[in-house]
Amino acid sequence: MPVFQPLWKQLSLRGLVAQTARVQASTNITGVYTGVDPTANSLHLGNLVAFMPLFHAYLNGFPSFALVGDATAQLGDPTGRTESRTRLSKRVFSENTSALVNQLSFLSQRVVSYARYCDYSTTDTPDERNWHIVQNSSWYSGMGLLDFLNKIGSTARVNQMLARDSVSSRLRSPTGLSFSEFTYQLLQAYDFYYLATHSNVNLQIGGNDQWGNVTAGVDFVHRKLGDNKAFALTTPLLTTSNGVKFGKSTGNAVWIDKTKTDAYALYQFFVSLPDKMIPILLKQLTFLSVERIGELEQQHSRKPEDRLLHRALASHVVYFLHGKDAVDTAIKVSNILYASKRNAQGFYWPPEPDYGNHSLKDLLQKTSAFVKIPRAIQSLPVCRLLRECGLFNSRKEASDCIENGKVMLGNEILKDSNLITNFPPESLVCLRFGKKAYALYFAE
């Protein structure tokens, strides 16, 4: 079994440790797990931060378990919520579970490929036999109520359960807390116990908002198996510059599935982040060495307007999750829409320049930046046109933005919200407002 000290040093240097339960550099780690509930059909970047230590463990030769909580998700984790989760059907849970299992399997391959790309230094060679994806329905499906009360409930202490933030905050709220949500922490604790007794797992990793559930698992295993049998650590949360958590529940999730967040949108997400977040995320979300990140910071400081660090982070995360072709597409489209390389009229006429094996339209069409304008709405005032194609939430919002000089169409800053555009069929027109840029395609 690999020695834990090098992995511990790696996680600490990368800022991937927020809190720990009994973990030390000298701890004898025999297996590691991180869990996710299938409340969506894809992981998002917030989940990815919590999974990064598991990936580092896998690369360093530790048996690594990705747990999909297809049973516990049906109860609903109350952590960080002011009201109960919306109930999903069993069919949706099943579809989400299959999607996450496939995604985690794909990610295990991307981890090895990306680590090789970064010349990642490991103490052991990654072995695919050390990567395991498990579903907790496999050990709950035959468990009845009496079994639950005997195996799990008899060991739980209600005063400790009530004291956890995820429970106490909900008890004070107008909506209260359901019994099923109250017992969620017991089932997550049993997950740890089951993996400890059946797969020799003794380290649980989760996001910092999971601290209550994670420590419940450590306490449960200790009561069942004795001291020094369970350890835990949590990772920092991915938040906005204002401290708001990125995630599905807050409505600002950035998805790993490229059909939900394409490579261009993912690239632009990182390029647009505040400067202070970039060095932190380079350490947390990439396999670049800490030394190499330091060198990039020095280069960036000499000419910060080039946003070298932002582009390095964006390129590396897109490469990690989607591969080289996705990076190439994201960079090409970003250069097209943000580099102002348009003709005098501000839009692109066929025939277009050479973009490899793709036409300009084909290249843009692969991304969320491509917005098709149907013939039927092309004669509408521009404020209505932009609302109809979904770029603004209301006509008034579009009008206000235009009349305040915040919208650029082609090379012109729009002033008249009632302007009727008159672009030839099949024109590609660059639209920019704020930090966003789109390619409007006026269909024939």
Q: Which fold has domain 262-338?
A: Tyrosyl-Transfer RNA Synthetase (1.10.240)
Q: Is 301 exposed, middle or buried (0-12, 13-18, 19+ CB in 10 A)?
A: exposed
Neighbouring CB atoms inside 10 A of 344's CB total: 7
DSSP of 370-424? EEEE-GGGTTSBHHHHHHHTTSSSSHHHHHHHHHTT-EEETTEE---TTPBP-PP
Comparing 197-201, 324-328, 342-346, the range with the smallest average pLDDT is 342-346
Interior/surface letters 38-76, b for 16+ CB within 10 angstroms, e for the rest: bbbbbbbbbbbbbbbbbbbbbbbbbbbbbbbbbbbbbbb
DSSP code for 153: I
Q: Among residues 422, 340, 412, 341, which one has the least CA distance to residue 379?
A: 422
Peptide bond into 353 cis (omega under 30): no
Domain 4-235 sits in CATH at: 3.40.50.620
How confident is the model over 11-58, as pLDDT tens digits?
999 999 999 999 988 899 999 999 999 999 999 999 999 999 999 999
| Alpha carbons 407 and 119: distance in angstroms, whole number | 44
Strand 64-68 versus strand 32-36 pairing type: parallel
Predicted pLDDT of residue 351:
40
Q: What is the DSSP letter of 210?
A: G
Asked if residue 155 has pLDDT above 90, the reply is no
CA angle, 181 then 182 then 183, to 5°: 90
Handedness of CA 401, 402, 405, 406 (dihedral sign): positive
Burial of 151: CB neighbours in 10 Å, binned 0-12, 13-18, 19+: middle
The 3-state DSSP class for residue 252 equals: coil
DSSP string computed for 277-317 = GHHHHHHHH----HHHHHHHHHHHHH-GGG-HHHHHHHHHH
CA terminus-to-terminus distance, the chain: 64
Residue 348, classed as helix, strand or coil, is: strand
Distance CA 339, CA 337 (A): 6
Q: Which two tokens stand for residue 220?
A: 């449960």
More confident residue, 417 or 83: 417
DSSP string, 63-83: -EEEEE-TTGGGT---TT-SS
Per-residue pLDDT reduced to its tens digit, 358-408? 577 888 898 999 999 999 999 999 999 999 999 999 999 999 999 999 998
Element holding 441 (H helix, E strand): strand 436-442
Q: Using the predicted structure, report yes or no on whether residue 66 has a pLDDT greater than 70.
A: yes
Contact between 118 and 287 under an 8 Å Cβ cutoff? The reply is yes
- Rounded Cα distance between 399 and 388, Å, is 13
> How many other C-beta atoms lie within 10 A of the C-beta of residue 295?
11
DSSP summary character for residue 353: P
Q: Given the structure tokens 């501000």, which residue do they identify? A: 346
pLDDT given for residue 80 in this prediction: 56
Mean pLDDT (whole number) for 94-123: 94
Domain with CATH 3.40.50.620 in the chain: 4-235
pTM: 0.90
Tokens 């109350």 belong to residue: 78
Whether 224 has a pLDDT exceeding 70, the answer reads: yes
Q: What angle do CA 99, 190, 162 make, to 5 degrees?
A: 110
Domain at 340-444, CATH homologous superfamily: RNA-binding S4 domain (3.10.290.10)
Q: 355: which 2 tokens?
A: 């973009």
Query: Which residues of the chain form CATH 3.10.290.10?
Result: 340-444
Mean pLDDT on 132-141: 95
Residue 250's pLDDT band (boundaries 50, 70, 90)? low
Q: What are 265's strand-pairing partners?
A: none
- Stretch(es) of the chain classified as CATH 1.10.240.10: 262-338
Confidence of residue 69 (pLDDT cuts 50, 70, 90): very high
Q: How far apart are CA 356 and CA 360, in angstroms?
A: 9
From CA 32, how far away is CA 63, in angstroms rounded?
6
